[in-house]
Amino acid sequence: MLYDKARIFVQAGGGGNGCMSFRREAHVPKGGPDGGDGGHGGAVILLCDDSFRDLQSFKRRAHYKAGRGRHGEGNQRHGADGEELIVRVPPGTQVTDEAGEVHDLVVPGTRLVVAKGGSGGRGNKKFAGATHQSPTFAERGLDGVEGWLDLQLKLLADVGLVGVPNAGKSSMLGRMTRAAPKVANYPFTTLEPVLGTLDGDDRQLVVADIPGLIEGASDGAGLGHEFLAHVERTRLLVHVLDLAPLDGSDPEDNYATIEKELAEYDERLASLPRILALSKADLVSPEEAELAAEVWRERFAAEVPEVDEWEEPVEPTPVLITSSATGLGLDELKAELLRRVPVMVDAPLPPGLDAGEGLEEHRTFRPSSGRNRKDFEVEQVEDGLWRVAGEGVDRLIARHDMENVDALAHVERRLHRMGVIRALDAAGFEPGDDVEIGGVVFELDPS
């Protein structure tokens, strides 16, 4: 069974706490602060590994947690960083986080940090200065990022075989490659995509047998979305059309149904090059098969757009008569696939990324100082109680013990520099009012 979906919970390691310590030596009564810093928490990293083929391992385990940073110690001993956790996924995995951000892991060796470890707290040695020589507080480490991730595997196949159920795709794949798909004389024999390798003289192509599509597949009918997702990254489609459907349906109606579902699911699929393979030719007379092929060739030739004389002419969709039972036309189909699928010089880009735009070699992000930027909100909850909300102030409170008088004084100085006190005064704050920041309520008297 192919496992192409998984939902996992990742949790990065929290940072270690800084140490509050003073040097102790014989005949040195005031050795000064010597608390070390806490280590940083380990990150959770997804690694694209081509030794994996599906997401089966995530069915047995859904929670992944990286190592926590060690706490700092006296004598300026810093805590060790937490061990990062590497989670391996197969090429073609699409990752969606809780914020809706999507990442494609296509190239083997690609690393993606999905949960950043918490930073470690500073020891009291870092807060010593000329005017405050004996700080009696240290910072706490911050928690690491955590959340749920949705993983979806979209097969990295060069060629996708599409068609209605029981059109002969599995038999064609088994005859052309070394794959061994299940073949039976009833619809929906294939319930999951099957991959096969087509060998050429100097290259190989990966061919995917996509399970039969039905009308409404693009809207989720049957297992439409699960099946169509595996066609997204193919570079060429072979539309397998049964010349003699068992249910007596019209081949032209079957062709129109599949093309309509592909176009409604993704516009890119509608623009992919095609090959029409008329299958099961052994069940009709040669004259009938050739007549059907001529009708389709004339139709595709009429659909070719006119181009100017300096432009490269557009080839009409090839139409081949095939039979998996007798091998008729399969060698010609192999040659056509090897000719029409271009050689990949570079790794494939995820859908939606224009290769012509180019990629920057380096990107540098520099955070602003924050002194001229208000990244918090002030509101009065009730008489004598104010709430300040913002990522920066929340992190400040999370790092300190507000029961420690020395730490509280340090927090008040930081709030002054961040502009929080000015914003509170402008809103009507009175010294001695309570302030809630990050879920912690404390009395604030900056005077």
Positive/negative CA dihedral, 56, 192, 214, 186: negative
Task: Tokens for 161, please give them.
Answer: 């075989």
Supply the CATH classification number for the domain 1-153: 2.70.210.12
Pairing of strands 385-389, 434-437: parallel
Mean pLDDT (the chain) is 82
The domain defined by 163-304+314-343 folds into Rossmann fold (3.40.50)
The rounded distance, in Å, linking the Cα atoms of 313 and 302 is 14
Is the CB of residue 78 less than 8 Å from the CB of residue 45?
no
Tell me the pLDDT tens digit for each residue of 384-424.
898 999 989 999 999 988 888 898 889 888 888 888 888 98
User: Residue 81: pLDDT above 90?
Assistant: yes
User: Residue 120: pLDDT above 70?
Assistant: yes
**What is the model's pTM?**
0.67
Task: Tokens for 436, please give them.
Answer: 């809630």
User: Residue 22: pLDDT above 80?
Assistant: yes
Tell me the pLDDT tens digit for each residue of 193-232.
777 778 777 777 888 887 756 554 444 444 444 556 667 7
pLDDT at 323: 92
Return the bridge partners of 196, or none: 207
Structure-derived torsion over alpha carbons of residues 239, 243, 245, 250, reported in degrees to the nearest 10: 80
Q: Phi and psi dihedrals of 216, rounded to 5?
A: 90, 5
pLDDT at 225: 46
Q: Where are the domains of the chain?
A: 1-153, 163-304+314-343, 377-443
Q: Is 178 exposed, middle or buried (0-12, 13-18, 19+ CB in 10 A)?
A: exposed
pLDDT at 370: 46
pLDDT at 212: 58
User: Residue 27: pLDDT above 70?
Assistant: yes
User: Residue 248: pLDDT above 90?
Assistant: no
Pairing of strands 5-11, 63-65: parallel
- The edge-to-edge listing of strands for the beta sheet with 194-199 is 194-199, 204-209, 159-162, 236-242, 274-279, 319-321
Tell me the pLDDT tens digit for each residue of 344-394.
544 455 554 454 444 445 555 555 544 445 688 999 888 889 899 998 999
Print burial letters for 427-442: b (CB count within 10 Å at least 16), e (below 16): eebeeebebbbbeeee
Q: How many residues does the chain have?
A: 447
- Binned at pLDDT 50, 70 and 90, residue 56 comes out as confident
pLDDT at 184: 46
The rounded distance, in Å, linking the Cα atoms of 403 and 172 is 74
Contacts of 6 (CB under 8 A, 6+ apart): 55, 58, 59, 62, 150, 151
In SS3 terms, the chain reads as: CCCCEEEEEEECCCCCCCCCCECCECCECCCCECCCCCCCCCCEEEEECCCCCCCCHHHHCCEEECCCCCCCECCCECCCCCCCEEEEECCCEEEECCCCCEEEECCCCCEEEEECCCCCCCCHHHHCCCCCCCCCCCCCCCCCCEEEEEEEECCCCCEEEECCCCCCHHHHHHHHCCCCCCCCCCCCCCCCCEEEEEECCCCEEEEEECCCCCCCHHHCCCCHHHHHHHHCCCCEEEEEEECCCCCCCCHHHHHHHHHHHHHHHCHHHHHCCEEEEEECHHHCCHHHHHHHHHHHHHHHHHHCCCCCCCCCCCCCCCEEECCCCCCCCHHHHHHHHHHHCCCCCCCCCCCCCCHHHCCCCCCCCCCCCCCCCCCCEEEEEECCEEEEECHHHHHHHHCCCCCCHHHHHHHHHHHHHHCHHHHHHHHCCCCCCEEEECCEEEECCCC
Return the bridge partners of 28, or none: 25
Query: Residue 374, by phi and psi: left (phi above 0), alpha (psi -120 to 50) or beta?
Result: beta
The rounded distance, in Å, linking the Cα atoms of 189 and 236 is 23
Q: Which of 94-108, 143-157, 369-383 has the lowest mean pLDDT?
A: 369-383
Contacts of 87 (CB under 8 A, 6+ apart): 8, 10, 44, 45, 46, 47, 64
Supply the CATH classification number for the domain 377-443: 3.30.300.350
Q: How far is CA 401 from the centre of its chain?
A: 38
pLDDT at 310: 67
